[in-house]
Structure 1
């Protein structure tokens, strides 16, 4: 098999066919990266690549993203994905693990099967992609960015198993950063609050029952925060890559409040209740 090495930096974005992943892929392509968009739906990937190509204009033909279908919770498919990247480009500079699934419900009702699904999609997917990416990233001194959530930092009410798996992702990211730093690879966690979506407030209708208040259906389980635009979060991810920042919390003013809450748990509980009341943000 003939391998070639391109000079242009290469980025892999999982979950890049829609939403935040698509925005991240678009910003990276605009910054000059050759981007590989990964997802499970070939049609959505093709449309995403076409949309980015259109936004880049005719002068940026070399930076048109490529699409690759893969279930990133399956080791064999992840292996094939990174063999494709190595064969096509001969290098990898950035991996952004965007795949993830949120949840709603009370922990006392969390089913084992549901937790397993959340674990596979939020933690295992990032672990597998990172493991397969390491050899190429070591060669380029590259960067891994895992997309977390405010649920990576605190455990709010009514979000089912989401805080469990996002806390696990945060721990995995920290451990991986320490282990890979001597090999020249930087590993970062970006933890945004609720991101604006067209279906905000309606995504979890099927998961709600008489045990949950109406606020559980709202972004962040009723968090009193203005929704972040995906474009703003994508720009923060790219800055994180460029500056090799270890940990990003959005909005930034929450970082000291989170730190205070960890130092003083009773105060932290009060702050969480304040920020997840049933009132809507201004």
Structure 2
């Protein structure tokens, strides 16, 4: 792999752990110079070692819900590498709970983490991405396409992200910047099934603690999703749903809301 200073540069937010780290590793293996953002410096350094291109990986500690931190981070990347070709917005958090128990405070927190972080970074990165005719990839979710049960405010936040992504894509097309959305189903992880145990209450079934709120969709491997992200950058694809077969089902559900509700109930094991 070439480490030339002319190699393209990718910035992965949330790159210190989970899917973000796998995405950063995938781009590094493809020849990109990599910048990763996270809140914890120790986790960032651990991720840099795991990515395997220590001398080519920039670690940026920041809280991207704060716009000034996002601006500082983009400036740091520009100063260090002299360019930016790809921004992958991977910061976000999921949720569990019945909608009747969702507070406005919790909903705002989810929007800040899943939507505002993307808005802050994308706006700040736009001038650099214009120079490179670059790409922004936002990591959405199947919850950006459907309003399934027991996901608290997560569906609300991801629907907002999907709408913002399309608006960005249309507005920034004339500026040479492509904006895409990746909507993966549940991603396999070591703590799946136990992450949300503490969020369960008498109003939602125990199955809701499982990935996807109890969906019957098979979990995706993180490296599979990361490979799709890289492919979407190369082909400038606008919107991808994973697993791919669900695109047809979601389309049918949009055409017929009654059918959509039936499909969501069928694909959920929650009672």
Provide the TM-score with structure 1 as the length reference.
Answer: 0.93
Shift of 1:65: 1.3
- After superposition, where does 1:121-140 map in structure 2 within 5 Å? 121-140=113-132
CA distance in 2, matches of 1:87, 1:213: 50
Which residue does 2:237 correspond to in 1? 245
3-state SS in 1 of match to 2:138: strand
- Asked if residue 40 in structure 1 is aligned to residue 39 in structure 2, the reply is yes
CA distance in 2, matches of 1:250, 1:33: 24
- After superposition, where does 1:144-223 map in structure 2 within 5 Å? 144-223=136-215
Question: Is 1:152–1:169's contact at 8 Å kept on the other side of the alignment?
Answer: yes
Question: Is 1:6–1:91's contact at 8 Å kept on the other side of the alignment?
Answer: no
3-state SS in 2 of match to 1:121: helix
- After superposition, where does 1:225-240 map in structure 2 within 5 Å? 225-240=217-232
Deviations 1:213-234 (A, max 9, x none): 1111111111001110101000
Shift of 1:185: 0.3
- After superposition, where does 1:256-267 map in structure 2 within 5 Å? 256-267=248-259
3-state SS in 2 of match to 1:209: coil
Q: CA RMSD in A?
A: 1.3
Provide the TM-score with structure 2 as the length reference.
Answer: 0.97
Shift of 1:277: 2.2
- Asked if residue 25 in structure 1 is aligned to residue 32 in structure 2, the reply is no
CA distance in 2, matches of 1:41, 1:256: 40
Deviations 1:160-210 (A, max 9, x none): 000000000000000000000000000000000000011101111111111
Question: Is 1:6–1:90's contact at 8 Å kept on the other side of the alignment?
Answer: no
Unaligned runs of 5+ in 1: none
- After superposition, where does 1:107-122 map in structure 2 within 5 Å? 107-122=99-114
CA distance in 2, matches of 1:82, 1:233: 25
**4+ residue runs over 3 A deviation:** none
Shift of 1:6: 4.2
Which residue does 2:12 correspond to in 1? 13
CA distance in 1, matches of 2:22, 2:81: 22
Question: Is 1:105–1:207's contact at 8 Å kept on the other side of the alignment?
Answer: yes
CA distance in 2, matches of 1:91, 1:150: 32
3-state SS in 2 of match to 1:199: coil
Question: Is 1:96–1:144's contact at 8 Å kept on the other side of the alignment?
Answer: yes
CA distance in 2, matches of 1:102, 1:249: 18
CA distance in 1, matches of 2:199, 2:104: 15
Which residue does 2:260 correspond to in 1? 268
CA distance in 1, matches of 2:7, 2:60: 19
